[in-house]
Structure 1
Amino acid sequence: MTTEPRTTPAALLRAAELYGSNEAIADGSDRVTYTELLDRVRTTARALMAAGIEPGDRVAIWAPNTHHWVEALLAAQYAGATVVPISTRYTGHEALDLLQRTAAKALVVPARFLKADRLANVLDAAGPGGLPDLKLVVRTPSDNPADGVPTTAFPGGEILEWDRLAAAAEPVSVADADARAAAVSPDDIADILFTSGTTGKSKGVMTAHRQTVGIADAWADCAEIDSNDRYLVINPFFHTFGYKAGIMVCLLRGATNVPFATFDVPKVMDTVAAEKVTVLPGAPTIHQTILDFPTRDDYDLSSLRIAITGAAAVPVVLVERLQAELGYEAVLTAYGQTEAVVVTMCRTDDDPVTVATSSGRAIPGMEVRIGDQGEILVRGENVMLGYLDDPEATAKTIDADGWLHTGDVGVLDERGYLDITDRLKDMYISNGFNVYPAEVENTLARIDSVAEAAVIGIPDERAGEVGRAYVVVKPGATLTADEVIAFCKERLAGFKIPREVRIVDGLPRNPSGKVLKNDLREGKS
């Protein structure tokens, strides 16, 4: 059974067959081979089936990068379910929105993460009867065992502790689980990843198994990943980079997945040295910080082979330093969005100037062209199936000829290499994460004292960009910048919270009433 897989269960079975004794995951003291990973996934899938999870049900994962995430992902899909990743940066209110909109039947969540009881947060946000579809919570261990297990009650369903999965799986046989996995079709929906839209309402991007596997396969080919690689996955598993260009790439090539839960530069270098990491992804600031770290020479980073970077401009000198000082064979950049995951990518033999001034050329199976107003258009087998419960937005994004309208502006050179020059949308990128001003503005509008608000991205040396909010207060009301930020902290993930708040008398507008955000960027408020 060594044919090319087109579903994640098939990819797992193939990995166990081809790479069985290879280390699949190296998560601290938890070490698991591909053979053992298949056994763990089968057990977890059986437990989900015993709890009533059926093909097509949605299983949400709201957890940090650990082996539990990988096993939960593959187990849910082994049982025929669709996975809904949720950002660990989300508040209970934000997570609740995704659980409700997907009618998730199960939620995988840590007992505590960064001292917070995430289940309690989402149940508090939901209120009585706010999660009628959720029937099962699978609770992974706390990131800090000293925090203990919460006593949170879940009146609407069952809480299953991770160490009880084997017992819970007993009513379902391995044969039944394997039959469920074999029934998964390449065209079944593997996952729904949410990406905020410029309307402020997040959109659920639906992707088939064949696409999730296909995009990872193309990425692995471009980066030349093989079974000797050890991949430090810093990028969050809830993001396409950590999931599809991380977990799935390792699975397809038999590489070792080294999950990284919370970012810390000395810990990154220590892990690289201890685990002999060969592949290291991250925004340019991560690589720059490692290069400039005062005690870098105390760590053995000689195993590093491939650096993956992007999400911001990459200086030529950074690429040159990574190769000269850290010995990277190749530094790669790429371009994509959740709707297509990876569109273009550099290749391992591209020179530093090409890497720094472009986002590479189209990967196999994808086409790129420049449309009206310089907009980047993308077409290919890995473009999303569509947005969850939103055919109108799907039709606006993917035209009748199958071209995905990205909303980004760029140019293609004579070699077919893409340079991103601007955005049609107002989105900005903070610490590698997309922030959509309309979503933040909608949150600000819930403040009783706010008449109107506008948010823009402004340059920041470390984060790339951060938010600045311009707020107009209602007549007779009072409001401070600190009060605005405090309100946002309760309702938005940290990377979405404006760094600055300016209370202003009014916002600049054109004759049709549209806020002139360029004027705000130029200081004409």
Structure 2
Amino acid sequence: MRNFPTHFWKRFQDHKERTAFITASSGKQPGEETYWEWTRRVQRLALGLMATGFEPGTRVGMVAPNSQAWLDFAFATWLIGGCVVPLVADRERRETLRCLARSGCDWIVTRDQRARLDLRGQASSLPDHLQWVVLEGDDEGVSGASNVHTFKSLEEAGRDRLRRGGLNALAERTYGLDAKLAALILFEPEPGPDPHAAYFSGGRLAIMLEYLSRDLALEDDSCLAVLLSYGWLSAPLFTLAALLNGHTVAMAATLSELNASLSSLRPTHLVCGPAFLEGQSSRWRQRIEAAPEFLRRLADPDAEGTFDTLSRAMGLVGERAAQKLIYEPMKSEFGGKLRSIYVWGGSVPDDVYDILDHAKIEVLGHFGFAECGVSHMEHPGARRRHSVGRPVHGYACKIAGAKAEGTGEVMIRADVLFDGYWAGAEGPREVDEHGWLKTGAVGHIHSGYLFLGDAPSST
């Protein structure tokens, strides 16, 4: 297979007229940008990085929070052979530095100069060779520091090289990259005191994203809303898979801004965590409690005599009235087009499932590990409550030593498992002689769906 940047660049050119991003902006209409407009900026950034002496194989620690600039910089890094290391912003400083060291990062990307100084520390003992990039702010805040670059300065340097015929040099670099070059390093969502950096070659990453995009099954009108700073490895992987196939990604700077902008972003799919839905559910409950008694019983699965009440209420007002008075206003808060919500781990309370089912929004669980990416997903019309779904295309799963639907260690096999831990380090998971990844997680399989934790007792 061709290398990763050649693979995605060809895809982006095929989709150049489509909308790549819809970005929330406080107090304004969301901004839109086509693939053509976006990839021109990525080109300029890549050329700007080349001007600094950036070499293939360089690891870049992405400590900045969610933003389109994050994606711009990640793809510019890949375009010239760099390796992206996504890290959750605003984690404890020591934990972040430990992850950066374990993955051998030579470049570190932060939100702004203040975040850079906080990470660096007052009496910094960090290596002098480190290069820094701040995504927000101008050159004034970093003047005089040769190892600190701004997003704007890199783009401007790239624009200058473009005027002087630098595009040929970029093309030569991109097309000449080895598909086996490391492209992505993943850590667990909670790295802990002993983090392990699982790395993937560009060739494997390209295949992994193709598998994932096939299972996402997004349509031409699909729009995926996501926050890259959630902390689950699925957030960047879902985003990359959507972009690889020419879909639109809706973004906001923060969780609160995403929540406030959903009605204008109008996504069809949303990637979030259980906490986001639990925060929404309190407002939904208030709306249900303000409804007439018979509609409240129709909406509330915990109400005594729910199913008898449901039959009577349907005879009185029918499902359509409940939709108009309760569920359509809920759906409009998500923009009115939302069809699916992807939730890491599938750990959603039953009452949230019930409310969203009535609103015709499907909650879809998914799961994975740093060593294999997203291995399991539920699909519209094919889901089980509290499961994390069936194996993604190209993956297989079994429970070690379990018979029928017994509980045991979750084992995963695929041709896109990680290439190893960075620098040959030993880690908590290993692949056996038959190609099965020993995850250490406990689960059980029922009708092909993976459930994390012990199987329910049959007694």
Give the TM-score taking structure 2 as reference length: 0.78
For the 8 Å contact 2:232–2:344, the answer to whether it is kept is no
CA distance in 2: counterparts of 1:316 and 1:349, whole angstroms: 17
Contact 2:61 2:105 in 1 (8 A): yes
Q: Is the 8 A contact 1:359 1:419 kept in 2?
A: yes
Q: Distance in 2 between matches of 1:93 and 1:225?
A: 39
Does residue 210 (structure 1) correspond to residue 203 (structure 2)? The answer is: yes
AA partner of residue 372 (structure 2):
A
Unaligned runs of at least 5 residues, structure 2: 26-30, 288-328, 402-406
Specify the alignment match of 1:257 in structure 2.
249
| Structure with the largest fraction of helix | 2
Which whole-Å deviations, capped at 9, do the CAs of 1:75-128 have from their partners, x for residues lacking one? Answer: 00101011122220223333333333434232222225xxxx121122226625
Matched with 1:161 is: 150
What is the deviation of 1:227?
Answer: 3.2
2:389 paired residue number: 360
Matched ranges for 1:240-255 at <5 A: 240-246=233-239, 248-255=240-247
SS for the counterpart of 1:24 is strand
- Conserved in 1, the CA contact under 8 Å of 2:225 and 2:267? yes
- Taking the aligned partners of 2:436 and 2:393, their CA distance within structure 1 comes to 16
2:185 aligns with 192
Q: CA deviation at 1:390?
A: 4.0
SS of 2:64's equivalent in the other structure is coil
Measure, in 2, the Cα distance between the counterparts of 1:281 and 1:199.
24
Asked if 1:337 is matched to 2:369, the reply is yes
Deviations 1:12-47 (A, max 9, x none): 331222x21212122235532101121111111111
What does 1:366-377 align with in structure 2 at a 5 Å threshold?
Answer: 366-372=395-401, 374-377=408-411
Change (3 A) 1:235 1:158: closer
Aligned partner of 2:445 in structure 1 is 412
- Determine which structure has greater relative contact order: mean sequence separation of CA pairs < 8 Å that are 6+ residues apart, divided by chain length: 2
Aligned counterparts, 1:315-330, within 5 A: 315-325=349-359, 327-328=360-361, 330=362
Task: Answer yes or no: is the 8 Å Cα contact 1:223–1:306 preserved in 2.
Answer: no
Quote the sequence identity (%).
22
What do the CA deviations read for 1:443-484 (whole angstroms, capped 9, x no partner)? xxxxxxxxxxxxxxxxxxxxxxxxxxxxxxxxxxxxxxxxxx
What is the total number of aligned residue pairs between the two structures? 397
Instruction: Verify the 8 A CA contact 2:5 2:79 in the aligned structure 1.
Output: yes
Distance 1:171 1:8, change over 3 A: closer
Conservation of the 8 A alpha-carbon contact between 1:309 and 1:332 = yes
Q: Deviations over 1:474-497 (max 9, x none)?
A: xxxxxxxxxxxxxxxxxxxxxxxx
Q: Deviation at 1:274?
A: 0.5
Which range moved further: 165-174 or 375-384? 165-174
In the alignment, is residue 201 of structure 1 matched against residue 194 of structure 2? Answer: yes
Deviation at residue 238 of structure 1 after TM alignment: 6.2
1:400 aligns with 2:433: yes
Cα distance in 1 for residues equivalent to 2:80 and 2:51: 10
Q: CA deviation at 1:398?
A: 1.9
The CA deviation at 1:65 is 1.1
Partner of 2:176: 183
Matches within 5 A, 1:222-241: 222-236=215-229, 239-241=232-234
Question: Does the residue aligned with 1:342 lie in a helix, a strand or coil?
Answer: strand
Distance 2:378 2:251 in 1: 24
Distance 1:61 1:300, change over 3 A: closer
The offset of 1:376, in angstroms, is: 0.6
Comparing 200-209 with 235-244, greater Cα deviation is found at 235-244
State the distance in 2 between where 1:154 and 1:214 align: 43
Residue 210 of structure 1 and its aligned partner are, at CA, apart by: 2.9
Contact (CA 8 Å) 1:212, 1:244: kept in 2 or not?
A: no
Q: Verify the 8 A CA contact 1:63 1:69 in the aligned structure 2.
A: yes
Kept in 1, the 8 Å contact 2:95–2:193? The answer is: no
**Cα 1:235/1:392, change in 2 over 3 Å:** closer
State the alpha-carbon separation in 2 of the partners of residues 174 and 418 from structure 1. Answer: 48
| 1:179 aligned partner, one-letter code | E
Matches within 5 A, 1:58-457: 58-111=59-112, 117-124=114-121, 127-128=124-125, 130-134=126-130, 136-141=131-136, 151=141, 157-169=146-158, 170-171=160-161, 173-195=166-188, 200-236=193-229, 239-246=232-239, 248-264=240-256, 267-293=257-283, 294=286, 297=330, 299=333, 301-311=335-345, 313-325=347-359, 327-328=360-361, 330-350=362-382, 354-372=383-401, 374-393=408-427, 397-413=430-446, 415-422=447-454
Instruction: Say which SS state the counterpart of residue 199 (structure 2) adopts.
Output: strand
Q: Aligned to 2:388, what secondary structure does the other structure show?
A: coil
How much has 1:164 moved relative to structure 2? 2.0
The structure 2 residue matched to 1:23, chosen from 2, 11, 19, is: 19
1:11 aligned partner, one-letter code = F
Q: Secondary structure at the match of 1:405?
A: strand
Give 1:220 deviation, angstroms.
Answer: 2.4
Q: Which one-letter code corresponds to 2:342 in the other structure? A: I
Q: Could you list the runs of 5+ residues in structure 1 that have no partner in the other structure?
A: 143-147, 424-525
1:397–1:241 CA distance, 2 compared to 1 (3 A): same
Q: Say whether the 8 Å CA contact 2:346–2:387 is kept in structure 1.
A: no
Cα separation, 2, equivalents of 1:68 and 1:230: 19
CA offsets per residue over residues 225-281 of structure 1, 9 Å max, x none? Answer: 1331111103527642121112x12212211111233212xx444422102211112
**What TM-score do the two structures reach when normalised by structure 1?**
0.69
Residues 110 and 391 (structure 1), Cα distance of their counterparts in 2 relative to 1, 3 Å cut:
closer
Distance 1:70 1:239 in 2: 16
